[in-house]
Amino acid sequence: MQSSDDIRQISVTAPRNLGVVSLSYQLFGQSLATHPVVMINHALTGDAQITGKRGWWRQLVGPGKTIDTNRFAIVAFNIPGNGVLDSQLNNYTDFHTGDIAELFYQGLEQLDIQKLFAVIGGSIGGCIGWEFMVQHSSMVEHFIPIATDWKATDWLIANTYLQDQILKNSSNPVHDARLHAMMCYRTPESFAYRFQRTVNEEAQMFNVETWLRHHGEKLKRRFSLHSYLTVNHLLRSVNSERNGTSLAKTLTTAKTQFHLIGIDSDLFFTPNQIQTTFETLKTEGVTVSYAEIQSLHGHDAFLIEYEQMDQFLTPIFH
């Protein structure tokens, strides 16, 4: 069983004459050649380290867990330009998430992966998954987009625009942009539940302020300014209908089972938005289901509510 933290790299050619890109990835679980393969796409601040001591989804992925590494082979690509191994897209504004999906497909080709048991991803990882499905649904048995949708709404575009302005104009750009982002990823109820207007006496600040400052400093260590600009740009670029054909029409003949998961308190990819996609696909005869995480924690609930995630995912992976 593969369980090392080794990051591997391959070179892939970006579509639309955008040049050669270095694509890094990690493998977990069983052999790609002999076991069903799951591709897991990470969220904006994540990376390809899915499980293990530093794995951001270690509560759900691992030996005997929801996505059991004793039964599945797992591949996870880093979004090019996200800063892992100092990766950088110099011309990042020329790329969109459809291009990233195509780079992932080329990576699968080089790994000789022709079928995927499942593609699963949250937030921007799910967005890339939607773009992948438009291009390559024939190779995917199950698609599980979580807290995400196939398009960037006006609300999402507005927030990424504000992020871009902070990143380009602040004297402490990554730190300050993260403070704003956390206001989108959580909810007023989540803040009230956690902090209750308590004060950090040592810092002479409200605990909610020290918490925000902690997240700003943490992301500042994780991202270069260029990397954060890149992933923020990619998030606003999501559009699985950019070829002029509606998503539902594109997927009408897909054999894939679609399992959409929303969050009742999500302020970023709202449940109404995801339910609309569900209804549209269902009307066109696509095999699709919808489940909803109940949580006061907002968009980040898919990284918090592991018991509910296990409940939704277990019937698929067992």
pLDDT digits (tens, 9 = 90+) for 16-37: 999 999 999 999 999 999 999 9
Query: Which of 213, 235, 257 is the last residue in one of the domains?
Result: 235
Secondary structure of residue 202 in the 3-state scheme: coil
Q: How far apart are CA 221 and CA 204, in angstroms?
A: 24
- Note whether residue 115 is domain-resident: yes
Q: Model-level pTM?
A: 0.96
pLDDT tens by residue, 97-118:
999 999 999 999 999 999 999 9
Are residues 282 and 164 both part of a single domain? no
Q: Give me the CATH number covering residue 98.
A: 3.40.50.1820
Q: Phi and psi for 87 in degrees, rounded to 5? A: -65, 145
Are residues 46 and 119 both part of a single domain? yes
The number of folded domains in the chain is 2
pLDDT at res. 1? 44
Query: Which of 235, 265, 286 is the last residue in one of the domains?
Result: 235
- Note whether residue 228 is domain-resident: yes
Query: Which of 191, 215, 235 is the last residue in one of the domains?
Result: 235
pLDDT-flagged residues of the chain (< 70)? 1-5
pLDDT at res. 66? 98
In terms of residue numbers, what domain contains 307? 8-150+238-317
- Note whether residue 180 is domain-resident: yes
Question: What would the DSSP string read from start to end of 297-314?
Answer: SGGGGGGT-HHHHHHHHH
Question: What would the DSSP string read from start to end of 146-185?
Answer: ES--SB--HHHHHHHHHHHHHHHH-SSHHHHHHHHHHHHH
Are residues 20 and 134 both part of a single domain? yes
